[in-house]
């Protein structure tokens, strides 16, 4: 492989990983934007997403490396698996909010955040106890057709990731910008008391934020499984921490910021893996985080707002 092809290849890989991190980062940022809460249970909603997707695929007989289906049936199964995963994760997110966080509404301090850490442990342990602690093979049903540019290649799967991420992020952006509920979300994020006095049902806005963020985490979990061809109860931690970094890097609470932060983290991971050594990826990612926070405490696209009273 020529140096240029190698760079191109890692760029392609980085964009694919980055799209996954961006989807996951959006969940952190949407919830933070509205509640100023860092939701650590998001890590394991993502992990559960990969398990749900694996379960749905296996219902259709897809497991391991076998390519059983082609064409429209395969697309159909993938779409069904995606929709089921996203809805299931969205409802899980809403359930977490309803059961664990709503009772803490109005409590000052870090209680809600600590609670999300607790929920995160409950989720990962529940999966470990019911599914087993061993690593599972995630099915790989997508044919390995690829577009070749020199010796670099872009697989069909990578195109699918990009298209899917673009559709989901575009849909989220349109929802938040144009729909009535989306506007209520933005209004609540900017001034919760004023939004309440316009007649916005703040609980409904919070539920929507959890549903959307968790559904996107489910999609990211599905992508993770297809990308790495494995899953286990512990995948949420590394990927979740990187995605959280992406959200902070872009400016937490800022939706385009999370997208850009995610892509950046994906590219760093791919490039570091190629040129420096995969084990350095996290070192570079978190060093960059420290650097950005020192130079631009609000993140790349964030703005420093006066603390809400």
Partner 1 sequence: MAGGLPPMLEFRNVNTYYGDLHVLKDVNYNLGAGEIICLLGGNACGKSTTMKTIMGIVRPTSGEVVFEGERIDRLPTAERVKRGIAPVLEARRLFPRMTVFENLEMGAFTRKRGADFDQDLERVYTLFPRVKERREQQAGTLSGGEQQMVAIGRALMARPKLICMDEPSMGLSPLFVEQTFDIIQQINRQGVTIFMVEQNAAMALSIAHRAYVLQTGRVVLSGPAAEMRENEHVRDAYLGEMQVVAA
Tokens 């400016």 correspond to what residue?
A: 251
Structure tokens at 274: 């190629």
Selected range binding partner 1 among 78-86, 94-102, 127-135, 179-187, rule: CB under 8 A: 179-187
Tell me if 308 contacts partner 1 by CB under 8 A: no
Among 190, 287, 293, 304, binds partner 1 (CB under 8 A): 190
For the CB of residue 193, give the shortest distance to partner 1 in the complex, in Å. 7
Using the rule CB under 8 A, is 34 a contact of partner 1?
no
Judged by CB under 8 A, the residue of 195, 220, 247, 292 near partner 1 is 195
- Asked if 304 is part of the footprint of partner 1 (rule: CB under 8 A), the reply reads no
Collapsed DSSP state (helix, strand, coil) of residue 136: strand
Residue linked to tokens 């991190």: 21
Q: Looking at 160, 196, 284, 298, which residue binds partner 1 (CB under 8 A)?
A: 196
According to CB under 8 A, which one of 184, 212, 281, 292 is a site residue for partner 1?
A: 184
What is the separation, in whole angstroms, between the first and last Cα of the chain? 58
The residue within the footprint of partner 1, chosen from 12, 152, 200, 265 (CB under 8 A), is 200
User: Nearest-CA neighbor of 27 among 81, 92, 103?
Assistant: 92
CB of 117 to partner 1, least distance (A): 30
| 186 binding partner 1? (CB under 8 A) | yes
What is the distance of C-alpha 239 from the center of its chain?
Answer: 9
DSSP codes joined into one string, 58-80: HHTT--TT-----HHHHHHHHHH
Torsion of CA 300, 219, 34, 249, to 10 degrees: -20
Quote the tokens at residue 296: 């631009």
Q: Is 199 in the site for partner 1 (CB under 8 A)?
A: yes
Give min distance, CB of 303 to partner 1, in A: 9
* 148-181 as b/e: b if 16+ CB within 10 A: eeeebbbbebbebbbebbeebbeebeeebeeeee
CB of 73 to partner 1, least distance (A): 42
Cβ proximity of 252 and 299 under 8 Å = yes
CB of 23 to partner 1, least distance (A): 24
Q: Which stretch binds partner 1 (CB under 8 A): 145-153, 186-194, 235-243, 258-266?
A: 186-194
Helices (H), 179-280: 180-190, 192-197, 202-228, 235-250, 255-272
**Contact between 193 and partner 1 (CB under 8 A)?**
yes
Count of residues that interact with partner 1, criterion CB under 8 A: 16
* Best CA proximity match to 48, nearest among 231, 208, 210, 266: 231
Find the shortest distance in angstroms from Cβ 131 to partner 1: 42
Residues of this chain, 201-230, that bind partner 1 according to CB under 8 A = 201
- Asked whether the beta carbons of 224 and 50 are under 8 A apart, the reply is yes
For partner 1, the closer CB: 148 or 303: 303
Residue 187 sits in the site that holds partner 1 (CB under 8 A): yes
Binding site for partner 1 (CB under 8 A): 180, 183-184, 186-187, 190-191, 193-201
């Amino acid at each position: 492989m020529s140096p240029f092809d190698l760079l191109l290849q890692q760029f392609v890989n980085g964009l694919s990983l980055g799209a996954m991190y961006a989807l996951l980062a959006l969940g952190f940022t949407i919830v933070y934007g509205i509640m100023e809460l860092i939701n650590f249970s998001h890590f394991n909603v993502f992990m559960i997403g990969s398990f749900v997707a694996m379960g749905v695929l296996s219902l259709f007989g897809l497991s391991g490396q076998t390519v059983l289906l082609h064409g429209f049936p395969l697309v159909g199964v993938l779409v069904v698996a995606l929709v089921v995963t996203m809805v299931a994760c969205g409802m899980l997110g809403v359930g977490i909010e309803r059961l664990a966080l709503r009772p803490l509404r109005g409590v000052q301090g870090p209680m809600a955040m600590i609670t999300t850490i607790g929920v995160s442990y409950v989720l990962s342990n529940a999966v470990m106890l019911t599914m087993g602690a061993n690593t599972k093979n995630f099915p790989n049903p997508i044919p390995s057709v690829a577009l070749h540019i020199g010796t670099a290649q872009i697989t069909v799967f990578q195109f699918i990731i990009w298209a899917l991420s673009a559709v989901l992020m575009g849909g989220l952006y349109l929802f938040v910008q144009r729909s009535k509920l989306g506007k209520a979300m933005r209004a609540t994020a900017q001034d919760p008391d004023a939004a309440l006095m316009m007649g916005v049902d703040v609980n409904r806005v919070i539920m929507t934020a959890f549903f959307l963020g968790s559904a996107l985490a489910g999609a990211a979990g599905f992508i993770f499984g297809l990308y790495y061809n494995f899953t286990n109860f512990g995948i949420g931690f590394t990927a979740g921490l990187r995605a959280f970094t992406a959200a902070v890097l872009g400016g937490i609470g800022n939706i385009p910021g999370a997208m850009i932060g995610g892509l950046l983290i994906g590219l760093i991971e791919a490039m570091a893996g190629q040129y420096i050594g995969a084990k350095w990826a996290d070192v570079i990612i978190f060093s960059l985080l420290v650097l950005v926070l020192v130079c631009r405490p609000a993140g790349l696209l964030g703005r420093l707002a006066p603390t809400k009273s």
